[in-house]
Amino acid sequence: MTDPAPRRVHGGAAPFADAAGVLGAIFAAFCCVGVPLIVSVLSSIGLSFLRRDSILLPLLALSLAIALWGFAAGRRQHGSSVPLALGLLGGGGLFAGVLAARWLVWPGAVLLIAATVWNIWARRRSRLVALSRQR
């Protein structure tokens, strides 16, 4: 079975949700695992209280939900399931890295960034194809 015909998704927050959600999720995961650059910047500006798991885990979950919503909106626009699948794998990697195996945070972050870039590229390509059909 093939993907349904792509349709155009207009305005709103959906075009930015994937990137914003991914940035928030990666930030939360990097704080949880104690990436020195993030920890030192937070300490230097007086926000070291943000390193509590009671703040970071809900931020991680909310950010991933926003990112996945953005990937799903992108799928409705361009018809490709790849960014959504990469986002699910990357999000799982981030959560597994924070909760169990810290080394999984890095591949999870790379997968989420790749999903975001793919989604942005596919949305732009979809818009160009729609514009060329209108002529």
Q: For 50-105, write each residue's pLDDT tens digit.
A: 888 899 999 999 999 999 999 999 999 889 999 999 999 999 999 999 999 999 99
State residue 28's pLDDT score. Answer: 93
What tokens were used for 9? 């998704």
Question: What is the C-alpha separation between 132 and 44, in angstroms, rounded?
Answer: 51
3-state secondary structure of 20: helix
Instruction: Tell me how far apart the alpha carbons of residues 83 and 89 are, in angstroms, rounded to a whole number.
Output: 10
Model pLDDT, residue 10: 52
Q: Is the pLDDT of residue 1 over 50?
A: no
pTM of the model: 0.83
